[in-house]
Chain A
Amino acid sequence: MLDASFKAGSLPAGAGVGYKPQHFTDITQAPGPVKWLEIHAENYMGDGGRPLAQLRALAERFPISVHGVGLSIGGEAPLDTDHLGRLKHLLGWLDPASFSEHLAWSTHGAEFLNDLLPLPYTNTTLARVAAHIDQVQTTLGRRMLLENPSSYLAFAESTWSEPEFLAELARRTGCGLLLDVNNVFISATNLKTTPQDYIDAFALTEVGEIHVGGHDEDTDEYGAPLLIDSHGKPVVDPVWALLDHTLTCAGPLPVLVEWDNDVPDWPVLRDEAARAAAALSRVAA
């Protein structure tokens, strides 16, 4: 359970972007509406050099959100304490405004599979994930945010809905939640549910950050739509609409635009951030 001395997140309720090194100069000279930046923790676990120098410079100007992709919190195996130690070191010197990770697994035995893999939602997995979150928060001495995944399939064995599973994790561990609206849209399309219903069932009071991003469109072997979380395109209009719905229900929150593949020139990403800022200004007004 969360200790009263733990640090809580403090990102501004404005637009942020996922930081890409090719945008370093543009971001420092013309950030536009961008109020904060998110980095992938694992890219800053080297010993030195340009990545860390750039991060130190950015952290002097922007609140930083550290977003982990390698902790495997949903894994069956114990957490990798070496990795947790590297995370503690990074958060220790950087002292970021927020730390978040995924409801997913990526490590099996000695292997790292470099993808966010899904888990069933059962009492067994609930207890295990809660124990992992406890261990992370205790080791790091701060509250973490846990992100909802994008789903392509369902586990027959699941007995919890995803919003209920996440809400129960937040209740048991005191962690916050990161609500990825694009993931909600992807999962709802892929599993034939209604994205607004998912948002309405979500523990919005626990949400400390929102993600939007682009996805690819495909179909499965039965001709059913299959959306893929690629982070390689602009955010589609239905996802912007879902963001509006979410902000109307939850009030202003930090909103991040993710663009990780086929990364565009800065003005394109800045314009996406401006759309997120405009959505926020509509609820703040």
Chain B
Amino acid sequence: MTTVSQSLFRQALLAPDRAAPDGLRDSDGHPAGARFDVYRNNVVVSLVEALHAGFPVLAKLLGKENMDGMARMFVRVHPPSSSLMMFYGEALPDFIASLPQLSHLGYLPDIARLELALRHAYHAADASPVASESLASLSPEDLLATRLTFAPSVRLVRSPWPIYDIWRYNTRAGAPKPTPTAQDVLVTRAEFDPLPALLPPGGHAWVQALLQDHSIGKALDFAQQDAADFDMTGPLTLLLTGNAITSLKDKD
């Protein structure tokens, strides 16, 4: 009797040109053809749909047909490595970057990275923010010496492309058209909905340094190396309104 191992089943599953394994049949004893294709179709279609759901802006930019085509290629090369489908597609940005047929749309990988960051923020652990007054009450010296702890939902995405403008143009009615510029994005989640915000020049270095547990003053040094006129007021407001800061730590 022919036994069908799961290895054999799996090999045929993701290889559309391969015959269904021997030992699978219909009730009349015919070898399974269309019947095996049901599983093939279920696997590929469900994974392609998961990518559509997880990368809605990418899908909009590519259009349904191109997104389907790209996703079908991706799922065969990178099937999920975990049953946690909520994080499926980690390898998609690099995969897109490797496709010569999409090289003329250089911003796509960073849009996919932004959408991954939003998804991670959505599922991140809840956190209790500090009151904004707790920072306002510090003397300037103490403020500069303070280090911050952040909510797990905080994410940074750096790009040479206008990813914030592209994201906004494709998700908000009436948003202005993107113009060619490099944009760094901060993702916070004030309650349940992750929100991307545009960081000014130096802002990425500032938040990055804070995430790495440097003091506000030290982070300011890093930021001003990137942008001499960096002012932390705007990014600090983004962190506070995004409920991103969960505690203040004194100098070591």
Q: What's the minimum C-beta distance from A190 to chain B, rounded to whole angstroms?
A: 7
How many Å lie between the Cα of A226 and that of B35 in the bound state? 8
Q: What's the minimum C-beta distance from A111 to chain B, rounded to whole angstroms?
A: 5
Q: Is the CB of A113 within 8 A of B123?
A: no
Is residue B60 within 8 Å, beta carbon to beta carbon, of the partner chain?
A: no
Q: Is the CB of A115 within 8 A of B46?
A: yes
Partner of B6, one of A70, A75, A156, A224: A75
Q: What's the minimum C-beta distance from A143 to chain B, rounded to whole angstroms?
A: 22
Which of A's residues lie within 8 Å of B, judged by CB?
42-43, 45-53, 69-72, 75-77, 80, 83, 86, 105-115, 117-120, 152-157, 190-193, 218, 220-222, 224, 226, 228
How many Å lie between the Cα of A118 and that of B20 in the bound state? 13
| 8 A-B pairs with the lowest CB-CB distances in the bound complex, closest first | A70-B83, A46-B123, A47-B125, A50-B192, A48-B126, A153-B35, A153-B32, A48-B125
Highest count of chain B CB atoms <10 Å: which of A71, A156, A192: A156
Q: What's the minimum C-beta distance from B146 to chain A, rounded to whole angstroms?
A: 26
A156-B1, A220-B34, A228-B38 are known contacts. Are A45 and B26 too (CB-CB below 8 A)? no
Binary contact track B7-38/A, C-beta < 8 Å → 1, others 0: 10110010000000001111110101111101
Q: What's the minimum C-beta distance from A87 to chain B, rounded to whole angstroms?
A: 10
How many Å lie between the Cα of A245 and that of B229 in the bound state? 77
Is residue B50 within 8 Å, beta carbon to beta carbon, of the partner chain?
A: yes
Q: Is the CB of B47 within 8 A of A221?
A: no
Q: Is the CB of B83 within 8 A of A154?
A: no
Q: What's the minimum C-beta distance from B100 to chain A, rounded to whole angstroms?
A: 26
How many Å lie between the Cα of A117 and that of B8 in the bound state? 13
How many Å lie between the Cα of A52 and that of B35 in the bound state? 38
Which residues on A sit within 8 Å (CB–CB) of B6? 75-77, 105, 108, 117, 119
How many Å lie between the Cα of A266 and that of B236 in the bound state? 42
Which residues on B sit within 8 Å (CB–CB) of A43? 86
Q: Is the CB of B9 within 8 A of A117?
A: yes
Which residues on B sit within 8 Å (CB–CB) of A111? 10, 79-81
Q: Is the CB of B39 within 8 A of A152?
A: yes
Q: Is the CB of A114 within 8 A of B39?
A: no
Is residue B61 within 8 Å, beta carbon to beta carbon, of the partner chain?
A: no
Q: Is the CB of A117 within 8 A of B7?
A: no
7 pairs of residues in contact across A and B, judged by CB atoms under 8 Å: A46-B84, A46-B123, A48-B123, A49-B123, A117-B39, A153-B35, A226-B38
Is residue B134 within 8 Å, beta carbon to beta carbon, of the partner chain?
A: no
Chain A residue with Cβ nearest B152 = A47
Q: Is the CB of A154 within 8 A of B30?
A: no
Which residues on A sit within 8 Å (CB–CB) of B46? 114-115
Is residue B3 within 8 Å, beta carbon to beta carbon, of the partner chain?
A: yes
Is residue B42 within 8 Å, beta carbon to beta carbon, of the partner chain?
A: yes
Q: Is the CB of A112 within 8 A of B35?
A: no
Highest count of chain B CB atoms <10 Å: which of A47, A49, A75, A191: A49
Q: Is the CB of B38 within 8 A of A49?
A: no
Q: What's the minimum C-beta distance from A75 to chain B, rounded to whole angstroms?
A: 7
A220-B34, A221-B34 are known contacts. Are A153 and B26 too (CB-CB below 8 A)? yes
Complex interface residues of chain B between 73 and 96 (CB less than 8 A to chain A)? 79-86
How many Å lie between the Cα of A124 and that of B197 in the bound state? 56
Which residues on A sit within 8 Å (CB–CB) of B38? 152, 226, 228
How many Å lie between the Cα of A71 and that of B83 in the bound state? 8
Partner of B26, one of A50, A71, A110, A220: A220
How many Å lie between the Cα of A234 and that of B23 in the bound state? 34
Q: Is the CB of A48 within 8 A of B23?
A: no
Is residue B135 within 8 Å, beta carbon to beta carbon, of the partner chain?
A: no
Is residue B181 within 8 Å, beta carbon to beta carbon, of the partner chain?
A: no
Q: Is the CB of B13 within 8 A of A113?
A: yes
Q: Is the CB of A154 within 8 A of B125?
A: no
Q: What's the minimum C-beta distance from A7 to chain B, rounded to whole angstroms?
A: 23
Q: Is the CB of B83 within 8 A of A80?
A: yes
Partner of A42, one of B43, B47, B84: B84
Chain A residue with Cβ nearest B78 = A111
